Amino acid sequence: MTEQIKADICVIGAGSGGLSVAAAAAAFGEKVVLLEKAKMGGDCLNYGCVPSKAMIAAGKQAQTIRDAVKFGVSAGEPEVNYQAVHDHIHSVIAAIEPNDSVERFEGLGVQVIQQAGKFKDAKTVVTADGKTEITARHFVISTGSSAAKLPIEGLDDVNYLTNETVFDLTEQPKKLVIIGGGPIGMELAQAQRRLGTDVTVLEAFNVLGKDDPELTAVVIDQIRRDGVELREGAKILRVEKGDEAFDHSAKIILEGEDGEEDVLEATHLMVAAGRAPNVNGLDLEKANITYDKRGIKVKDTLKTTNRRVFAIGDVTGGLQFTHVAGYHAGLVIRSILFRMTARENRNIIPWVTYTAPEMAHVGMNEEQAKQKHRDIRILRWPYGENDRAQAERKTAGLIKIVTDKRGNILGASIVGENAGEMINMWSLIISQKMNVKAITGYISPYPTLSEIGRRAAISYYGDLPKKPMIRRTISFFKFFG
């Protein structure tokens, strides 16, 4: 017999966004049902942010040993135990796992059902096994995204890696080829190279092509100096099975410069080119929910075409970051519980690419600002002019601040050491619509990297000494002693 459950909120997908909605709603006494067909914590905990940053950290330690000689410390080439790297990654996942576990959420009062969910009609969800039907006042879809399938001939015949499988490797790849030069591909390419893997990245267009070229040039230069081979404008003709001695091997046949075929052999092939929303199996049509290949269509309130249903995070096809899903969760809670008109504001959402050096951004970039404002100013300050950066030999990079003619800060971009931490302050500045004056008015401790931003802000007033009116004013005051 089918179990009938009546809930206030039914959440489909236990990724970061879904878990945040479930926990917050349960804390306010709502009856919450949470459906998850796979692992609690979703992509971020198990296949994305957490394991990738753990691998990047391992690569960083290896590079620190290589760079120690710059500081008068001799160490030599590091010895990498790849099994231990694997264990490190999974121990980090295990340390965080209890926060996202079934037991914790049941303890919070959430009813967790470890099944996939699909819509029966506009106000009912049924579990995949057909044993449970949930009716609810509101539904929240938080099913995330997965690595996109590429239309490359022969690719489906190869056991290639994705972000869902690469962290399970216990033996180091000898020759890793990554298809895709976006943030995921570049982060893992550099981390693997620093661990000692021979790495080639194939990108059909430009590496990190969605970011500011002035900043990406700094990142690309370092990744190339680390030894990663970057092939931009690569045209893949087909993929064939490679050496049978390696589970993830492949031959990638490229179009060469002379029109001839160029064969690239890999012991391990990884695909990191784009993400696809997880909408299959939800039967969204039965709930009158509009979607396409880019994701579920939502208003800026995150409501779908079914007024009972919200969609958050990657499945909406917008900015695909864990913190965006968390931001969405907060908006949905305000809408459902407090009947507030909470709308998404993408201008205040920061993002970081965790390469070395890191690259971070919030607000408008230079081109966006030019399209919206008549007069803008670009304020820059290089890491090389910062004393802390000099002391730590981390002088590659700069901050780039965009303001309007009145000094209102429209956006900020940073490339350099700790850019991901430094962007926090600028995210607050953008969200609070602050002016350059506010930045010049605070005191930054010396020596810190954050001084770079303050120095850039002060440069807004750099031409004041040259203005005749200012000089005349100063001369006037001299008469008073």
Contacts of 414 (CB under 8 A, 6+ apart): 215, 358, 359, 360, 361, 397, 398, 399, 400, 422, 423, 426, 452, 453
What is the Cα–Cα distance from 386 to 109, expressed in whole angstroms? 51
Listed as own residue / partner, the contacts of 431-436 with beta carbons closer than 8 Å and 24 or more positions apart are: 431/348, 433/408, 434/408, 434/409, 435/406, 435/407, 435/408, 435/409, 436/379, 436/403, 436/407, 436/408, 436/409, 436/460, 436/461
On whether 257 is known to bind a ligand per the annotation, the reply is no
CA torsion, points 93, 99, 104, 109, in degrees to nearest 10?
-140
On whether 143 is known to bind a ligand per the annotation, the reply is yes
Closest CA to 346 of 330, 328, 329: 328
What is the Cα–Cα distance from 150 to 146, expressed in whole angstroms? 12
Q: Are the C-beta atoms of 322 and 44 separated by less than 8 Å? A: yes
CA distance readout (Å), 317 to 49, 56, 119, 276, 312: 18, 26, 20, 8, 9
Q: Measured in Å, how far apart are the chain's first and last C-alpha atoms?
A: 95
On whether 145 is known to bind a ligand per the annotation, the reply is yes
Closest CA to 292 of 313, 275, 277: 277
Q: What are the backbone angles phi and psi of residue 311, rounded to the nearest 5°?
A: -130, 140
Here the tokens at position 336 are 């459902």
On whether 407 is known to bind a ligand per the annotation, the reply is no
> Omega into 445 within 30° of 0, i.e. cis?
no
On whether 274 is known to bind a ligand per the annotation, the reply is yes
On whether 183 is known to bind a ligand per the annotation, the reply is yes
Angle between helices 419-431 and 451-458 (to 10 degrees): 50
> Omega into 447 within 30° of 0, i.e. cis?
yes
What is the Cα–Cα distance from 212 to 208, expressed in whole angstroms? 9
On whether 184 is known to bind a ligand per the annotation, the reply is yes
Amino acid letter, residue 114: Q
On whether 481 is known to bind a ligand per the annotation, the reply is no
Here the tokens at position 406 are 């009145």
What is the Cα–Cα distance from 420 to 401, expressed in whole angstroms? 15
Amino acid letter, residue 393: R
Amino acid letter, residue 213: P
On whether 182 is known to bind a ligand per the annotation, the reply is yes
363 strand-pairing partners = 411
On whether 42 is known to bind a ligand per the annotation, the reply is no
CA distance readout (Å), 52 to 44, 142, 159, 227, 326: 9, 21, 21, 20, 19
Residues tagged in the binding site annotation for FAD: 53, 117, 143-145, 314
Which residues are documented as binding site for NAD(+)?
Answer: 180-187, 203, 274
Binding-site annotation, residues: 53, 117, 143-145, 180-187, 203, 274, 314
